[in-house]
């Protein structure tokens, strides 16, 4: 687990990236799948997965497992406002 100062520094570094901010804005209100995020942010799937892994490692986003209409397992991503708020104090 990261120390509070290390966590804050990591979050500030992540937020300095425009693509990360675009992803966070996309999932601020509603949880979305990777394909939805790629379409809305106009980014390649590989970039989305790489960025979301980094966001997830810092607990800025959280993964939500669901079952879609076709009965398949789907992972949705949602912004974790609590961690963002705590880090930016």
pLDDT digits (tens, 9 = 90+) for 35-45: 999 999 999 99
CATH number, position 69: 1.10.10.10
Q: Which domain holds residue 74?
A: 4-87
pTM beyond 0.95: the answer is no
Task: Retrieve residue 30's tokens.
Answer: 């509603």
Residue of higher predicted confidence among 5 and 67: 67
Number of domains making up the chain? 1
pLDDT digits (tens, 9 = 90+) for 56-67: 988 889 999 988
Supply the pLDDT for residue 87. 60
Supply the pLDDT for residue 58. 84
Confidence check: pLDDT of 71 > 70: yes
Among 7-11, 46-50, 55-59, which range has the highest average pLDDT? 46-50
Q: What is the DSSP string of 68-89?
A: -TTS-EEEEEEE-HHHHHHHT-
Supply the pLDDT for residue 4. 57
Q: Which of 35, 68, 64, 62 is nearest to 49 (CA)?
A: 35
């Amino acid at each position: 687990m990261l120390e509070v100062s290390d966590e804050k520094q990591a979050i500030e570094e992540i937020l300095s990236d425009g693509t990360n901010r675009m992803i966070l804005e996309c999932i601020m209100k509603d949880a979305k799948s990777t394909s939805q995020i790629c379409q809305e942010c106009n980014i390649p799937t590989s970039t989305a997965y790489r960025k979301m892994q980094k966001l997830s490692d810092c607990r800025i986003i959280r993964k939500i497992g669901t079952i879609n209409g076709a009965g398949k397992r789907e992972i949705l991503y949602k912004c974790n406002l609590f961690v963002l708020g705590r880090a930016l104090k």
